[in-house]
Structure 1
Amino acid sequence: MNTFIPRFLLLTLSLASLSSLVFSAETTPDYFFIIFQWPKSKCESKEGCCLPKKGKPVLNDFIISEFKGVYAQEGSVPENCTTTTKFQPSKIADLVPNLGRYWPSLTCPRRDSKKLWKEEWVRYGSCAESVLDQHDYFAAALRAQKQINLLKLLGDAGIIPNGKYYPGEAINEAVRKAGLGDVAVTCREDENGLNTILDQVFLCATREGNKYTCPGAFWICDSRNGNKVKFLKP
């Protein structure tokens, strides 16, 4: 198994950021990381989850955790870029129903998901403003979520949320067959303190929200369990 993690993926997994003096809203990303989260993993963790004050998030499908631009030449994922554009909920009013379902805030204490969307726009959307305005940024993330359809993609390969363990290599093979390149998977601890519960899946998309072949290498969260991860029931 190839366990090499490319530089840009290491930066992403560690949530590295670069100075806004280097990156501004005029910087153009090459593609985007779309990070999916399995809600049950968060809700059963020590951190726990709280449903938002408004909206009805899906808890039996992957939700969007982050959507952030990748700048291949610099090998970076910048954050909090210089911009004069403030987050305006009215700009994404038509997207709110689907954002509430597929990009909700599950943090505790309970809050309105609009606070999450504001944070995501300021942190990552601001760094893609040269190609995506506020509406287009969130619309692209929703389009990528729908087009990739990660739950179905895995299900077609026999990988379903039933509380069983699945080899990381099987997850990666399913992703590769879908033309999405190699996958990176992060996990949470199980009852034995091992990081083997599937939590987040890193895939790639274009700025239009279309599928994009990730140029990184396969990486699984934990090798202590034979590179297997538990896919919790919703």
Structure 2
Amino acid sequence: TKPSNCNGSQFDTRKVSPKMRIKLKKSWPDVESGNDTRFWKDEWNKHGTCSVERLNQMQYFERSHDMWLSYNITEILKNASIVPHPTQTWTYSDIVSPIKTATGRTPTLRCKQDKKT
């Protein structure tokens, strides 16, 4: 299980540089509500506070961004011929398998219904 809700300092928006915010908007956006800052705050307060012995807040978000850079999930899926398509669908294992092969980890996937449909 992932450590959560530790006793480290709470999120401080001033500790995430403008340059890092730009990077995080691409690598770690809030895909559900669109409120990136609130999402990052929640992630830091729940998980990042457990890393304070090794990573301060800025380092935590730098590490998160670096992890995103090291595994280009879009490219991994593209190489497995999993690309946006108006009618094609894929099974859970179709998507998980190439990601697991490339990263050595089993991803957690959630579906989000398009509000336009």
The bucket for the TM-score relative to the shorter chain is: 0.7 to 0.9
Is the deviation greater in 180-189 or in 127-136? 180-189
The number of equivalent residue pairs is 112
Aligned residue in 2 for 1:101: 26
* Alignment partner of 2:67 out of 121, 144, 152: 144
Q: 1:132 deviation in Å?
A: 1.4
Do structure 1's residue 117 and structure 2's residue 27 form an aligned pair? no
Q: Are 2:33 and 1:88 aligned?
A: no
Q: 1:82 to 1:182 in 2, by over 3 A?
A: closer
In 2 relative to 1, CA 166–115 (structure 1 residues): closer, same or farther, beyond 3 Å?
closer
Relative distance call for 1:140 and 1:107 in structure 2 (3 A) is: same
Amino acid at match of 1:142: H
| 1:78 and 2:6 are equivalent in the alignment | no
- Structure 1's 99 and 179: CA in aligned 2 closer, same or farther, altered over 3 A? closer
Structure 1: segments with no counterpart, 5+ residues: 1-75, 191-234
**1:157 matched residue in structure 2:** 80
Percent of aligned pairs with the same amino acid: 24
| 1:136 Cα deviation after fit | 1.1
Higher helix share: 2
**Structure 1 position 92, deviation (Å):** 1.9
TM-score, normalising length: structure 1: 0.42
RMSD: 2.5
- Name the structure 2 match of 1:178: 102
Partner of 1:187: 111
Q: Which residue of 1 aligns with 2:92?
A: 168
130 and 171 in structure 1: CA distance in 2 versus 1, 3 angstrom threshold: same
Q: Within 1, Cα distance between the matches of 2:41 and 2:24?
A: 12
Distance 1:80 1:101 in 2: 26
Distance 1:86 1:181 in 2: 29
* Cα separation, partners in 2 of 1:158 and 1:117, compared to 1, 3 Å: same
- Structure with the bigger percentage of strand: 1
In the alignment, the residues of structure 1 paired with residue 32 and residue 113 of structure 2 have an alpha-carbon distance, to the nearest angstrom, of 18
Please say if residues 10 and 49 of structure 2, whose CA atoms lie closer than 8 Å, have aligned partners that are also in contact.
no
The superposition leaves residues 179-204 of structure 1 with CA deviations (integer Å, 9 ceiling, x where unpaired) of 424444333469xxxxxxxxxxxxxx
